[in-house]
């Protein structure tokens, strides 16, 4: 960077104007001390960045000034944040050290600036997303302001991304939508989240973005007319309430419209709720709730409401602090219109989130510690040392970003769990011991499976039994990281104990054979392809390896094990498996398809098709040796495949379909489309069974808001037949998608 980059006079004016603008945004929120600090921070930043320019060519200092302004005006932060925002790139990019900042501005500011500097590495490609998460989250629990200022920084960078190289734009956009948008949502920064999503989409899906933006522009006039038609009759009635209010029609974000187009599979023209009506009342905190319900009453007098769409987040705020009353009504021309009713205070919290929430802390007793709980759960996740990176991201997504469900104990105490949580999660939420010994769960007085997904308002009663303990299957019945890590810990303890038993048995056996235990065990680990002695011991304890029987394959020479004969070993093994295989075939009462395993006819193995992915002739498949139920054949696209391959690679064998087979397979399809009335089922069954001639085993259909989702189980001989069915259903009128269930 050479001398020619020195700042010109006109640029100096621009910088001073930006700075004055920043001060104006703080208005009367500053003490004399604050003013002095901000001035000093500004001067230090101007000095430090004096030789830098941004990619766009403008003086670098405009960036920290703008970030500080966003902190104040768009996120609602105060003077300390402004000082930190002004200094946020100083340590990273210039000669100023953290020590200098500490001396000049004190401990608090230097800590936040330090956090911001550490977060800056998140552009680094070498670092995985999971590690990025960890970094962001650890600074978040130290001081939330670090992340809030980082949001402002990212927002300004996203707004000015145009001058970056395309590949950098893509990377930053991906990271923004992956980490920062959900975090902004969780911190209640609604506007920031929306802008993150829109700006990311503009980069990753430019065509779709511009198309929707253009269509929004083209339809703007019509929409405004419609909004006026909607608002006018309301206005008259609302005025009679004598409550100060304002009413606005807000268009939805491009990203959320795009989502709707993708999820509902309908064109832009068919989306009517492109906007929401918001009615904001200006009343003291004590009258908010009743004022909002009065407004609700007026709205539903004028327009007919859809009762299922009523959402009351005033009585119980969302976990990110959001409070509002939502309803959907049938507006003019029979179109659905979403109406949001809230107070000015609620509106500020809804738009600015965290910082605004702090400002009103204490106004509403039940909203006080929503963030404390959340920060605690982040600490929980950060603290679990056993977690691998993938688990970490999964937990993060389910536990920290999701919406919540509100449920009750038998005594009526409310508990908040992440949406999707199960009855067993609830048991662990109550207490670890309750979880460990949970033997039965009743929801609203009815017995439910432990994996039952709990719903808002459920009253849950857990019965415990001292002899009950967690097993492997429980891991699949929970989603919260707390329950998962507790179950894992219990299983580990349990496995350790079991492995000890297996080890004892092996030691006894080796002793009687006069084989040195250490050497013998290592030999067997290798022979059977285990990863460790622990696994060998464990398999013995589980009975996967019957040592009395298996050890007959070995002779002992000079205290060492020797294999007697490979053939005998395979034969004896298969005799055993064959009987199990015959039994299970009998049980199922249906013929096994012919499959080659490791290149040989598979009937020597006890194999069966996995029920998780229902493979059918023609699918890519592999064989997996289970501990208890022989060999299972899975599709390579099975949702469990990655896990099996990653963790139990040694149990995987090649599998191929034998060329011809007259076995029948069950395949499940999910069909969605426009609900054209009661004829839908008939139309589909006609197509599948009458005109194509396939047998349907079961059919269920569910309609919602003009759409239906149907599940069909049908019987086919191979993948070609299934594809034929899929394609012919797709060609039917009104069908939007046909997918095979993975
Ligand atoms: Mn920056």
Give the Å distance between the CA of 17 and the centre of ligand 1: 20
Going by their DSSP bridges, the two strands 607-609 and 631-635 should be labelled as parallel
Distance of CA 148 from the midpoint of ligand 1 (Å): 13
Q: What's the topology of domain 2-204?
A: Hypothetical protein af1432 (1.10.3210)
Quote the ligand 1 centre to 38 CA distance (angstroms): 17
Who's near 727: CB < 8 A, 6+ residues apart? none
Residue 412 Ramachandran class (φ > 0 left, ψ -120 to 50 alpha, else beta) = left
Residue 516: name the closest of 525, 507, 528 by CA: 507
CB within 5 A of ion ligand 1: which residues? 89, 153
**Architecture in CATH of 665-740:** 2-Layer Sandwich (3.30)
Q: How many A from CA of 210 to the centre of ligand 1?
A: 28
Q: For position 60, what pLDDT does the model report?
A: 92
Residues 6+ apart with CB under 8 A from 76: 348, 352, 355, 356, 359
The rounded distance, in Å, linking the Cα atoms of 399 and 407 is 16
Helix (H) or strand (E) holding 275: strand 275-281
Around Cβ 727, how many Cβ atoms within 10 Å? 10
Residue 561: both structure tokens together? 């094990």
**What pLDDT is attached to residue 413?**
80
Active-site residue identified among 92, 124, 236, 301: 92
Alpha-carbon distances, residue 460 vs 443, 444, 457, 479 (angstroms): 5, 6, 9, 17
Q: Which of the 8 DSSP states describes residue 53?
A: B
Q: Tens of pLDDT along 619-658?
A: 888 888 776 677 888 887 777 776 666 566 667 777 888 7
Distance 92 CA to ligand 1 centre (A): 10
- Could you say which of 58, 73, 93, 175 is catalytic? 93
Q: What's the confidence (pLDDT) of residue 702? A: 78
CB 671 within 8 A of CB 613: no
93 catalytically annotated: yes
Q: Quick one: pLDDT at residue 569?
A: 42
pLDDT exceeding 70 applies to what percent of the chain? Answer: 85
Same fold, 213-369 and 665-740: no
Spatial separation of the C-alpha atoms in residues 455 and 443, rounded to whole Å? 10
Q: At what angle do helices 107-119 and 98-105 cross, to 10 degrees?
A: 150
Residue 65 CA to ligand 1 center (angstroms) comes to 10
Give the mean pLDDT of the chain. Answer: 82
Q: Give the Å distance between the CA of 370 and the centre of ligand 1.
A: 30
In a 13 Å sphere around the CA of 665, the CA atoms on its Cβ side amount to 26
Distance 75 CA to ligand 1 centre (A): 16
Domains of the chain, by residue range, sit at 2-204, 213-369, 490-564, 572-657, 665-740
Q: Which helix (H) or strand (E) holds 713?
A: strand 707-716
CB neighbourhood size of 236 (10 A): 11
Report, at the CATH architecture level, how domain 213-369 is classified.
2-Layer Sandwich (3.30)
Q: Which of 640, 673, 648, 661 is nearest to 739 (CA)?
A: 673
Alpha helices by DSSP H, 481-565:
481-513, 517-528, 533-542, 547-550
Q: What is the pLDDT of residue 662?
A: 67
Give the closest residue to 278 by CA, choosing from 339, 237, 228: 339
Backbone angles phi and psi of 212, in degrees to 5: -65, -40
161 and 169 in contact (C-beta within 8 Å)?
Answer: yes
Given a cut of 70, the residues of the chain with pLDDT beneath it are 1-6, 121-132, 358-370, 373, 381, 384-402, 565-592, 627-628, 642-650, 659-662, 676-678, 705, 742
Cβ atoms 125, 171 nearer than 8 A? yes
Q: List % helix, strand, coil for the chain (3-state, nearest 5).
A: 55, 15, 25
d(C-alpha 168, C-alpha 157), whole Å:
12
Cβ neighbours for 728, distance < 8 A, ≥ 6 positions apart: 687, 691, 692
- Residue pair 106/100 in contact by the 8 Å Cβ criterion: no
**What was the pLDDT predicted at 581?**
41
């Amino acid at each position: 960077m050479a001398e020619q980059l020195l700042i010109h006079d006109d640029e100096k004016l621009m910088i001073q104007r930006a700075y004055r603008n920043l001060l104006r945004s703080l208005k009367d929120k500053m003490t004399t001390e604050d003013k002095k600090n901000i001035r000093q921070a500004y001067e230090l930043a101007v000095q430090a960045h004096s030789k830098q320019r941004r990619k766009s060519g403008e003086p670098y200092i405009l960036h920290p000034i703008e970030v500080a302004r966003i902190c104040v005006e768009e996120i609602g932060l105060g003077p300390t944040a402004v000082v930190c925002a002004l200094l946020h790139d100083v340590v990273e990019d210039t000669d100023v050290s953290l020590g200098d900042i500490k001396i000049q501005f004190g401990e608090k500011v230097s800590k936040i600036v330090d956090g911001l500097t550490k977060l800056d590495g998140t552009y680094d490609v070498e670092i995985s997303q999971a590690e990025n998460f960890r970094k962001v989250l650890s600074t978040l629990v130290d001081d939330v302001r670090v992340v809030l200022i980082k949001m402002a920084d990212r927002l300004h960078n996203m707004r000015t991304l145009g001058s970056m190289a395309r590949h950098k734009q893509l990377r930053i956009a991906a990271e923004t939508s992956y980490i920062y948008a959900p975090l902004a949502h969780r911190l209640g920064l609604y506007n920031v989240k929306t802008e993150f999503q829109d700006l990311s989409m503009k980069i990753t899906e430019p065509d779709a973005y511009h198309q929707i933006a253009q269509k929004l522009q083209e339809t703007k006039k019509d929409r405004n007319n419609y909004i006026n038609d909607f608002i006018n009759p309301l206005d008259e009635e609302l005025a009679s309430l004598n409550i100060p209010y304002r009413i606005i029609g807000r268009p939805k974000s491009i990203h959320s419209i795009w989502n709707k187009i993708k999820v509902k599979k309908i064109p832009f023209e068919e989306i009517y709720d492109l906007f929401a009506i918001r009615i904001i009342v200006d009343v003291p905190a004590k009258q908010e709730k009743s004022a909002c319900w009065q407004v609700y009453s007026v709205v539903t007098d004028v327009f007919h409401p859809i009762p299922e769409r009523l959402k009351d987040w005033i009585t119980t705020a969302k976990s990110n602090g959001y409070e509002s009353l939502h309803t959907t009504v049938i507006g003019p021309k029979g179109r659905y219109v979403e109406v949001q009713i809230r107070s000015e205070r609620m509106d500020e919290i809804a738009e600015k989130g965290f910082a605004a929430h702090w400002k009103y802390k204490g106004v509403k007793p039940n909203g006080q510690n929503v963030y404390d709980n959340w920060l605690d759960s982040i600490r929980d996740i950060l603290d679990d040392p056993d977690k691998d990176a993938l688990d970490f991201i999964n937990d993060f997504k389910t536990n920290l970003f999701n919406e919540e469900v509100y449920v009750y104990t038998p005594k009526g105490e409310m508990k908040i769990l992440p949406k999707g949580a199960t009855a067993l999660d609830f048991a662990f939420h109550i207490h670890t011991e309750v979880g460990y010994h949970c033997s039965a769960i009743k929801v609203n007085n009815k017995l439910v499976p432990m994996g039952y997904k709990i719903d808002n308002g459920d009253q849950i009663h857990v019965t415990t039994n001292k002899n009950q303990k967690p097993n492997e299957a429980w891991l699949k019945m929970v989603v919260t990281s707390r329950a998962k890590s507790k179950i894992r810990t219990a299983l580990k303890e349990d496995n350790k104990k079991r492995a000890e038993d297996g080890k004892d048995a092996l030691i006894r056996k080796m002793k009687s054979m006069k084989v040195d235990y250490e050497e013998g065990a290592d030999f067997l680990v290798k022979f059977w392809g285990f990863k460790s002695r622990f696994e060998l011991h464990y398999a013995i304890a589980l009975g996967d390896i019957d040592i009395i029987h298996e050890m007959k394959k070995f002779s002992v020479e000079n205290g060492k094990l020797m294999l007697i004969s490979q053939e005998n070993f395979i034969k004896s093994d298969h005799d055993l498996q064959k009987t199990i295989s015959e039994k299970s075939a009998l049980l199922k009462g249906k013929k096994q398809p012919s499959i080659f395993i490791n290149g040989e006819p598979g009937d020597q193995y006890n194999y069966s098709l996995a029920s998780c992915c229902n493979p059918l002739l023609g699918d890519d498949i592999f064989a997996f040796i289970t501990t208890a139920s022989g060999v299972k054949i899975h599709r390579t696209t099975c949702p469990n495949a990655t896990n099996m391959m990653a963790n139990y690679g040694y149990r995987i064998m090649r599998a191929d379909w034998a060329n011809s087979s007259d076995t029948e397979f069950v395949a499940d399809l999910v069909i969605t489309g426009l609900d054209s009335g009661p004829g839908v089922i008939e139309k589909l069954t006609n197509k599948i069974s009458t005109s194509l001639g396939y047998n349907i085993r079961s059919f269920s259909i569910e309609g919602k808001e003009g759409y239906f989702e149907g599940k069909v189980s049908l019987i086919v001989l191979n993948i070609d037949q299934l594809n034929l069915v899929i394609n012919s259903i797709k060609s039917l009128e009104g069908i939007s998608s046909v997918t095979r269930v993975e």
